[in-house]
Amino acid sequence: MVKVYAVVLSAGVVALIAWIFARSYAVNTERTSFDPEHRLGIPGRRVVAGMVGFGMAGMSAEFSPLDLSWPVALLLAVAGSSAAAWYAGWASGDDGES
- What pLDDT does residue 94 have? 58
- What pLDDT does residue 98 have? 41
Asked if residue 34 lies in contact with residue 76, where contact means CB atoms within 8 angstroms, the answer is no
Asked if residue 20 lies in contact with residue 36, where contact means CB atoms within 8 angstroms, the answer is no
> What is the per-residue pLDDT across 26-57, written as a single tens digit (0 to 9) for each?
989 988 888 888 888 889 999 999 999 999 99
Stronger pLDDT, 95 or 36, i.e. the higher one: 36
Residue 97 DSSP SS3: coil
Q: Does pLDDT of 95 surpass 70?
A: no
Highest mean pLDDT, choosing among 23-27, 79-83, 92-96? 79-83
Q: Does pLDDT of 7 surpass 90?
A: yes
**Residue spans per domain, the chain:** 2-90
Q: Does pLDDT of 67 surpass 50?
A: yes
Can you tell me the distance from the alpha carbon of 13 to that of 67, in angstroms, rounded to the nearest whole number?
26
The continuous run of DSSP H or E covering 23 comes out as helix 2-29
Among 36, 38, 53, 37, smallest CA distance to 87 is for 53
Asked if residue 5 lies in contact with residue 62, where contact means CB atoms within 8 angstroms, the answer is yes
- pTM score, two decimals? 0.85
